[in-house]
A and B are shown apart, each in its own frame.
Chain A
Amino acid sequence: MESQELPYVLIDCIGGKHGVYEDHIEFLEKHFHLISMKEYLENKKSLSEKIRAIYIWYHKPVINEELLQSLPNLKIVASSGVGIDHLDLRLLSSYGVKVANTPFAVSTDTADFGMALMLASSRRLVEGYQMAVSPDTEYFPADWLGAEVSGATLGIVGMGTIGYKVAQRAKAFEMKILYHNRNQRNKEDESAVGAVYCKKIDDLLQQSDFVLLAVTLTPQTHKLIGKKELELMKPTATLINISRGLVVDQDALVEALQKKIIKAAALDVTYPEPLPRDHPLLKLKNIIITPHIGSATKKTRRLMMENMTESIKAGLTGLPIPNEVLL
């Protein structure tokens, strides 16, 4: 098949620190004629009308009005991951461009990682590792203790696909599960994981040993956890964030951790990423920070790529679009 017959899809670049993975290219090129941003900018005149889709890999390329204006035949934009807070949905809609993400591909890995953070924080795994390998360690003290996960109370804020998968895993640890969500889940879903609905987030915060944030970032969830919420939490509680950095008021979190208003935090996401190297969060002892690796496994990234390919193809042939994001 001649590559001219394949639809033209704009990408940012291949390889390097944020480019499309080189080992994904073979698959993508079976379906698309890929145009890098560099190629496009060098050849705008001949390429601008040919590009019908954009493949956004880790937030690049950035979609702005200028780009949308210069791509008259753009039909669909596929974005890796589930978060779409980096996209202006209204703007895209006004240009008649459809949007797709990859909510299901990321869900199990992100749920797994939420559990990993909760266990690592509670059992002081990172500190323990540092002690085990430190050149200064002469013995392991008997009074060095963490806290139990099994049988503790987990409060899940945001019980979507990811939140629910966390609940399924936590149940096997005999955790008591509370959840807060825009809508209550149906009875079968709740009883399958033994989850109790908390209409008011305050109730969840006051009763939980672990508070896990699994919401999408929207204007409503921006700084959802601030000073008031942190103070409602138990002083023995741990905050775990696998959603977006902006869901937490970071300054309030710094204060809460410094003053031991809560026991600890474990964050896969911050704002920005990475944090500036002099940020107070990096200096705290009672925190674990990971570099946004909730979905960072080979299989999942490949599945995301395949999902995005499917969405683009459907969008270009007028078929129903899997994983379409509606306004």
Chain B
Amino acid sequence: MLRSKAFSLLKPIPLMFGQSNLACIHPAIASYGHRCHRSPVDYRQRYKTYSAGEQTISASHTKVMAEDLPGVLILDIGGTHGVLENLAVLLKKHFHLITMKEFLENKKEMSKKIQSVFVFECRPTIDRELLESLPNLKVIGNSGVGVDHLDLKMISNFGVKVTNTPHAVADPTADMAMALMLASARRLVEGCQIAVSPDTKYFAVDWLGVEVTRATLGIIGMGSIGYKVAQRARAFNMKILYHNRNRRRKEEEEAVGAHYCEKMEDLLQQSDFVMLVVNLTPETHKLIGKKELGLMKPTATLINISRGAVIDQDALVEALQKKIIRAAALDVTHPEPLPRDHPLLRLNNIIITPHIGTATVQAIRMMAEEAIANMLAVLNGQPIPSEVFPK
């Protein structure tokens, strides 16, 4: 069994994973996603947890010969960055699951078997070397909707398709956007700190936040997620403005009471809450910079649930320090996590959350199911629900 071989190999490995040798290891393991917002991680720690997780999976191995199923490459199972164990179980129903470690230890045999790669939280990194070593690769199934960490053109040149999971992410991400807007406006995090602080003797009555109901929300990027945010915001009687590459149909606008702003500047000047829901592309990189922040109301809040690189972070730091805008609430930054000495972490008019827009038990499972359906469609030559094409 290949897996038991992998275990015995674990012991003499430490040399391989020594810090100085990191450069010799396949870049996919180092997973230095310079294109990705994720920070690199010490993989020695991960392999310790890997073996613990592996025992559980072997026990539940099914009767179907895994090797007959199409091979799917994943980074790892369990641990801090691996595919969650219950998702591995889902994958195994349809695929022969091959971890990066197994692949690297047995490239000759494994490389031909791998027809798909399941990219979970941006890992494994898909680079030229990996693509060259997988002659039968047909599809990269990404968990999540953002594909800014994938070089779509390069992947396409290898004749490999890319799919994402737009349906599974929409509700939880829209919910998170509302959560951030409400928490920021009503100073929820600060309030919690006061409520539990050992120094608190009384609750001051002149401690105030700002209203959400009937305020103006400007949505930049009115795709599936942006539209679901609009549906929720409407129930709060918010006035909704939106800016998008293309205008939505009249019925769609009327259903949520959204007004199109052809010029983003108009949206910025009128909104009490500016919400970023675009994908990250060369066009949206640093979409919100010093000029845009300067156009916003001094009482406005910036909310980002898209990608950190959509905002010029240095400009944001300055805008928040100088109270050019009132506050910001970010589920995404660049990188993630931010370096511990980053000025954004020292501001008191900011909420930062650790990219948890789709971090629910239900969503993680639905994303895997959507990715599986997409990968199977490609492998079976059927219509592909969510293929992503290079520009």
Q: Tell me the smallest distance from the CB of B371 to a CB of chain A, in Å.
A: 15
A252, B11: Cα distance in complex, Å: 51
Find residues 111-161 in chain A having any chain B CB closer than 8 Å to their own CB: 111-113, 115-117, 119-120, 123-126, 128-129, 131-133, 135, 137-151
Find residues 275-321 in chain A having any chain B CB closer than 8 Å to their own CB: 275, 277, 282, 288-293, 296-301
Q: Are A132 and B183 in contact (CB under 8 A)?
A: no
Q: Scan B177-197; emit 1 where CB is below 8 A from any A CB, else 0.
A: 011101100111101101110
* Inter-chain contacts of A143 with B (CB < 8 A): 78, 80, 84
How many B residues touch A, CB cutoff 8 Å? 68
Q: Scan B349-391; emit 1 where CB is below 8 A from any A CB, else 0.
A: 0011111100111111000000000000000000000000000
Asked whether any CB of chain A lies closer than 8 Å to the CB of B213, the reply is yes
Q: Are A144 and B337 in contact (CB under 8 A)?
A: no
Q: Scan B155-190; emit 1 where CB is below 8 A from any A CB, else 0.
A: 000000000000000011011101110110011110
- Given contacts A116-B188, A137-B337, whether A123 and B176 have CB atoms under 8 Å apart is yes
Q: Tell me the smallest distance from the CB of B231 to a CB of chain A, in Å.
A: 6
Asked whether any CB of chain A lies closer than 8 Å to the CB of B15, the reply is no
* Inter-chain contacts of B200 with A (CB < 8 A): 274, 277, 291
Q: Are B207 and A296 in contact (CB under 8 A)?
A: yes
Q: Are B41 and A139 in contact (CB under 8 A)?
A: yes
Q: Tell me the smallest distance from the CB of B345 to a CB of chain A, in Å.
A: 5
Q: Are B203 and A273 in contact (CB under 8 A)?
A: yes
* Inter-chain contacts of B65 with A (CB < 8 A): none
* Inter-chain contacts of B207 with A (CB < 8 A): 291, 293, 296
Q: Are B171 and A151 in contact (CB under 8 A)?
A: yes
Asked whether any CB of chain B lies closer than 8 Å to the CB of A104, the reply is no
* Inter-chain contacts of A117 with B (CB < 8 A): 188
- Given contacts A128-B356, A137-B337, whether A171 and B81 have CB atoms under 8 Å apart is no
A174, B353: Cα distance in complex, Å: 24
Asked whether any CB of chain B lies closer than 8 Å to the CB of A95, the reply is no
Q: Tell me the smallest distance from the CB of A278 to a CB of chain B, in Å.
A: 9
A42, B310: Cα distance in complex, Å: 62
Asked whether any CB of chain A lies closer than 8 Å to the CB of B148, the reply is no
Asked whether any CB of chain B lies closer than 8 Å to the CB of A228, the reply is no
- Using a Cβ cutoff of 8 Å, how many contacts connect chains A and B? 189
* Inter-chain contacts of A151 with B (CB < 8 A): 171
Of the residues A21, A173, A290, contact of B175 by C-beta under 8 Å: A173
Asked whether any CB of chain B lies closer than 8 Å to the CB of A18, the reply is yes
Stretch of B18-26, B232-240, B241-249, B281-289 at the chain-chain interface: B232-240
* Inter-chain contacts of A148 with B (CB < 8 A): 171-172, 175, 360-363
Q: Scan B99-127; emit 1 where CB is below 8 A from any A CB, else 0.
A: 00000000000000000000011000000
- Given contacts A116-B186, A277-B200, whether A144 and B356 have CB atoms under 8 Å apart is yes
Of the residues A57, A125, A301, contact of B208 by C-beta under 8 Å: A301
Q: Are B205 and A18 in contact (CB under 8 A)?
A: yes
- Given contacts A119-B182, A123-B175, A172-B234, whether A142 and B80 have CB atoms under 8 Å apart is yes
**Chain B residue at minimal CB-CB distance from A136:** B340
- Given contacts A119-B182, A148-B172, whether A129 and B194 have CB atoms under 8 Å apart is no
A200, B110: Cα distance in complex, Å: 61
Asked whether any CB of chain A lies closer than 8 Å to the CB of B263, the reply is no
A266, B361: Cα distance in complex, Å: 20
Q: Tell me the smallest distance from the CB of B56 to a CB of chain A, in Å.
A: 14
**Chain B residue at minimal CB-CB distance from A270:** B195
Q: Are B234 and A112 in contact (CB under 8 A)?
A: no
Q: Tell me the smallest distance from the CB of A147 to a CB of chain B, in Å.
A: 6
Q: Are A145 and B360 in contact (CB under 8 A)?
A: yes
**Chain B residue at minimal CB-CB distance from A295:** B208
Asked whether any CB of chain B lies closer than 8 Å to the CB of A58, the reply is yes
- Given contacts A112-B182, A135-B340, A168-B235, whether A146 and B360 have CB atoms under 8 Å apart is yes
**Chain B residue at minimal CB-CB distance from A193:** B235
Of the residues B189, B235, B360, contact of A172 by C-beta under 8 Å: B235
Q: A18-B205, A126-B188, A291-B191 are in contact. List 4 more A-B contacts (CB 8 A).
A: A112-B212, A126-B192, A132-B338, A137-B354
- A-B pairs with lowest CB-CB distance, top 3: A172-B235, A119-B179, A116-B182
